[in-house]
Structure 1
Amino acid sequence: MLELLISQLTDPFRIGLVVFLLVTAIRTRAATGLWAPLAVGILFVAVLIPLTTGAAAAPDNATRLTAMAVGVLANAMLLAVLLAGWFGWQKARR
């Protein structure tokens, strides 16, 4: 399980999707808010990647569901780091 989390945390495709999820949420926060799009985006990326990569070829649903559940955790961790950096940047600019 830890190996799966580490591999997801270091996946450049996942990191890129989460970075651009944050950029999009920041740009559209006046119309949509910030937290709801981020939450939905975390779930979307967590489901999208296992369904389009090697986990989709898994013979059982348990492997896919595990990859998705760990993906939610990995996405939340990546987003937390990015949000901390963004909020720190905003505070330093003031």
Structure 2
Amino acid sequence: MVTELIQAQATDVFRIGLIVALVVTMFRTRAATGTVLPLAAGVLFVAVIVPLTQGGTVAAPIWLQIATGIGVNLVFVAVALAVAGVLRSALGAGRG
């Protein structure tokens, strides 16, 4: 059940889009809001809002959907930050 749940969440285009938008927004507003708190709040928000609004494709308790959603979201944020770091260094952004 957990494996199917993680696979379903990892291939959810809506979740991926929300996480990408979260990381882009964090970069645009980090001077005012910081980095860690907006990312943590966004990861938790997406993990809760997606199963509550869309209904899961896998029959699992809501707490399990949220817990696995947090894990999947953290992986997506890590990948998005890594890609953003590579792009920023390749384009020369962020050099003082």
TM-score relative to the length of structure 2:
0.87
Residue correspondence of structure 1 range 4-15 to structure 2 within 5 A: 4-15=5-16
Residue correspondence of structure 1 range 1-94 to structure 2 within 5 A: 1-55=2-56, 63-94=61-92
TM-score relative to the length of structure 1:
0.88
Question: How many angstroms apart in 2 are the aligned matches of 1:24 and 1:72?
Answer: 19
In structure 1, give the amino acid aligned to 2:46.
Answer: V
Aligned-residue CA RMSD in angstroms? 1.3
SS in 2 for 1:6: helix
Per-residue CA deviations over 1:46-82 (Å, capped at 9, x if unaligned) read: 0001111224xx7xxx700000000000101111111
Q: CA deviation at 1:2?
A: 1.2
Q: CA deviation at 1:91?
A: 1.6
SS in 2 for 1:88: helix
Q: Report sequence identity in percent.
A: 49
Question: How many angstroms apart in 1 are the aligned matches of 2:12 and 2:46?
Answer: 12
**Larger helix proportion, structure 1 or 2?**
1
Which consecutive residues of structure 1, in runs of 5 or more, have no partner in the other structure? none
Question: How many angstroms apart in 2 are the aligned matches of 1:36 and 1:73?
Answer: 17
Per-residue CA deviations over 1:15-51 (Å, capped at 9, x if unaligned) read: 0100101111111000001111001100000000111
Aligned length: 89
In structure 2, give the amino acid aligned to 1:75.
Answer: N
In structure 1, give the amino acid aligned to 2:64.
Answer: T
Which consecutive residues of structure 2, in runs of 5 or more, have no partner in the other structure? none
